């Protein structure tokens, strides 16, 4: 087994534990046991880039995680296969993140819930069991959404009229079954709750509105209990959260401890980038105290931090905010606040003075935060193979160290334009 970078004793024990614990899956009605190898032969040939334990678990993942949310709308199956081959075979990525809701945006003409999982499932089927076994496949179950086409797509044909998306036990198990079917696999390595069933400010909102609290929210313990059942059935291996608050994380800690699955709670996937550093405070403390690793999403603020949307910078007709200017409005050049635009310009200036591109600065800042560097993984996506190459380039070799002057300059901009893309 080859791992790029140093291996500490915990990681060595984790590799051994993974080999032992993954020998748990029985094959259909034959009763035989299939041993699931710890690392992929495809990945091992190029080494896992920046291998680390995810949170406090035995799950070993690469420092970079391949994001998939554009597959099925902005990218077709051939694009996705090329991205997967490049990331896995050439760049040492063993971690792939998807969701039952993907692709996005949901208003795109081609959108269909589960389409991204189907594309990834076709790839997993094409590479065979041995190579799939050594990849860490993560998906997400959608939270509360009334009259949801995502919930409808859990059945074949889709349920009519669309039911509400909830996180009760029946819905969680139905979502898992649908994801397993689409992914053409027998288990999901990391199953995440995409957003809570209860009301919580998400996706850029920063103010808790008391009048939005719903009395019928599904208790976290019920959701966690359903996930425990799925773990015991061998259908999922670890649990992750997403778009959660410090209160939510604390309640998940309490519930998983009560249910005896605390060691399976691995990660949280929240927004984190130079324009949205809300994780730096209460969530950083909460997750650090409980060994929960961060999987930051939108590290480039939908591409805005790359600088490609400046006039004359060369954004193509297929670029996200050219094709869908109303999507992620807080980061779209057409609707982003003046303070957001000013911050982007300032970060680009800092990057130039440090001899870096804006993309390199943005990625280097995220990957060197302790809550990512110690036990998290950076979600990296792209709409073209050329973008993916650029976005994965910073993960070659040792992490870039941002010196004190660069960090001070970044923090000065942050204090002047504090989380400018968030709104009330």
DSSP 186-246: S-EEEEEESS-SS----TTB----GGG--TTPPPHHHHHHHHHHHHHTTSEEEEEEES--H
Q: Which residues pair with 271 in a beta bridge?
A: 297
Q: CA 224 → CA 239, 333, 407, distances in Å?
A: 9, 39, 39
Name the active-site residue from 86, 102, 272, 309: 102
Q: Terminus-to-terminus CA distance in the chain, angstroms?
A: 49
Q: Is 298 left (phi over 0), alpha (psi -120 to 50) or beta?
A: left
Q: Which residues pair with 26 in a beta bridge?
A: 33
Q: Which residues pair with 64 in a beta bridge?
A: 378
CA triplet 152, 132, 99: central angle to 5 degrees? Answer: 25
DSSP 26-42: EEGGGTEEPPPPSS-HH
**Structural tokens at position 421:** 């893309």
Find out whether 347 and 362 touch, Cβ atoms under 8 Å: yes
309 is annotated as an active-site residue: no
DSSP 66-129: EE-TTBTTTB-HHHHHHHHHIIIIIT---EEE--SS-SS-TTSTT--TTHHHHHHHHHHHHH-H
3-state DSSP assignment of residue 63: coil
Find out whether 141 and 194 touch, Cβ atoms under 8 Å: yes
Reduced 3-state DSSP string for 254-322: HHHHHHCCHHHEEEEECECECCECHHHCHHHHHHHHCCCEECCECCCHHHHHHCCCCCCCCCCCCCHHH
Find out whether 134 and 37 touch, Cβ atoms under 8 Å: yes
**Structural tokens at position 23:** 């020998």
Find out whether 372 and 366 touch, Cβ atoms under 8 Å: yes
Q: How many residues does the chain have?
A: 424
- Known catalytic residues are 102
């Amino acid at each position: 087994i080859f791992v790029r970078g140093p291996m500490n004793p915990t990681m060595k024990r984790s590799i051994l534990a993974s080999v032992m614990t993954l020998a748990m899956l029985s094959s259909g009605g034959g009763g035989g046991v299939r041993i699931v190898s710890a690392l992929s032969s495809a990945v091992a040939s190029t080494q896992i880039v920046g291998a680390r334990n995810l949170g406090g678990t035995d799950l070993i993942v690469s420092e970079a995680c391949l994001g998939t949310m554009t597959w099925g709308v902005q990218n077709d199956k051939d694009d996705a296969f090329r991205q997967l081959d490049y990331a896995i075979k050439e760049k040492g990525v063993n971690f792939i993140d998807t969701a039952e809701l993907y692709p996005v945006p949901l208003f795109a003409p081609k959108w269909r819930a589960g389409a991204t999982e189907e594309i990834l499932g076709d790839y997993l089927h094409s590479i065979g069991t041995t190579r799939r076994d050594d990849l860490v496949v993560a998906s997400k179950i959608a939270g509360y959404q009334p009259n949801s086409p995502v919930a409808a797509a859990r059945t074949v044909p889709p349920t009519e009229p669309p039911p509400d998306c909830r996180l009760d036990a029946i819905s969680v198990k139905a979502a898992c079954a649908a994801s397993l079917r689409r992914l053409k696999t027998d288990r999901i390595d990391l199953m995440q709750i995409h957003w809570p069933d209860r009301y919580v400010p998400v996706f850029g909102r920063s103010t808790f509105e008391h009048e939005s609290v719903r009395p019928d929210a599904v208790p976290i313990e019920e959701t966690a209990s359903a996930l425990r059942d799925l773990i015991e059935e061998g259908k999922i291996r670890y649990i992750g959260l997403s778009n959660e608050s410090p209160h939510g994380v604390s309640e998940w800690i309490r519930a998983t401890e009560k249910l005896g699955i605390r060691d399976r709670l691995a990660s949280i996937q929240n927004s984190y980038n130079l324009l949205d550093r809300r994780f730096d405070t209460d969530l950083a403390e909460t997750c650090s105290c409980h060994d929960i690793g961060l999987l930051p999403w939108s590290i480039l603020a939908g591409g805005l931090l790359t600088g490609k949307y400046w006039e004359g910078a060369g954004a193509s007709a297929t670029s996200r905010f050219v094709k869908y200017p109303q999507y992620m409005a807080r980061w779209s050049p057409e609707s982003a606040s003046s303070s957001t635009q000013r911050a982007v310009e300032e970060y680009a200036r800092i990057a130039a003075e440090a001899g870096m591109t804006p993309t390199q600065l943005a990625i280097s800042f995220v990957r060197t935060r302790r809550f990512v560097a110690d036990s998290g993984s950076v979600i990296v996506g792209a709409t073209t193979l050329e973008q993916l190459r650029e976005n994965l380039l910073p993960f070659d070799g040792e992490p870039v160290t941002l010196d004190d002057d660069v960090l001070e300059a970044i923090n000065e901009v942050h204090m002047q334009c504090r989380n400018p893309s968030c709104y009330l």
